[in-house]
Amino acid sequence: MTSLRLSKVFVFAGAVCMGAGSAQAAELALDEISFFAPANVATFNVEGTASEVSGSAEFDNGLVAINAVVPISSLDTGIALRNTNMREKIFTAEDGTLPDIEFSASEFVCEIEAVESCEVTGTMSFQGKTRPLTVSIDLEPADEGTLIKASAVILLSDYETEPPSLFGVSIQNEVTLDISVKALAD
């Protein structure tokens, strides 16, 4: 069974994370976003970047909530025709709209430098369809704040999405998305 793999890396400003006992909000700002979709023929693997992200995070003795949104219109493979096909075949909703990808989770606590990863269950919206998604999150101190690494696996079939194919070459269900953002205190 193939899957859509989603990996996120968030970088947050240290002052935001240190609010002992009082929740502090942070706004997400773009650092880097990249994605990779393997094909059944390696020469036709799809990779690219996104130029936008928005969202927020909340800290209270650790990360306690997150919402990240990636506009589909900001995804770029470097080939205009491939971008058009990708948006039409993978990201367009049944009603013809192009909804953003969004992940949200709350009511959890991930501590900085925890021995084990936090398993966080939230929701992923893809093609305007929202499904539960569990991600593994690790927090580490970094020079500019706290590094948050999260990864999850979702199936395109969970969103009733057929991987596109043309002339025997098809994109597999598995897509890896790496996101790096900074949280800026509100």
Token pair in block for residue 151: 């990864």
Phi-psi region of 40 (alpha: psi -120 to 50; beta: other; left: phi over 0): alpha
Rounded CA gap, 128 and 76, in Å? 20
Range of the domain at 14: 4-185
Give which of 62, 64, 51 is closest to 179, Cα–Cα: 51
We report the CATH number of the domain holding residue 145 as: 2.40.128.110
Structural domains in the chain (count): 1
Token pair in block for residue 21: 């006992």
Helix residue spans in 8-79 (DSSP H):
14-17
Cβ–Cβ under 8 Å, residues 67 and 181: no
Q: What is the pLDDT of residue 145?
A: 61
Note down pLDDT in tens along the chain; length 186 residues: 333 344 444 444 333 444 445 777 777 767 778 888 889 999 999 899 989 988 888 888 888 898 989 899 999 999 999 999 889 988 999 999 999 999 999 988 888 777 778 888 999 999 999 999 888 877 766 666 666 777 777 778 888 988 888 899 998 888 777 777 666 655
**Residue 11 burial by Cβ neighbours in a 10 Å radius (0-12, 13-18, 19+):** buried
Q: What is the pLDDT of residue 63?
A: 82
Q: What's the 3-state SS for 41-57?
A: CHHHCEEEEECCCEEEE
Rounded CA gap, 127 and 19, in Å? 36
Handedness of CA 98, 178, 109, 27 (dihedral sign): negative
Other CB atoms closer than 10 Å to residue 168's CB: what's the count?
Answer: 7
The DSSP call for residue 19 is -
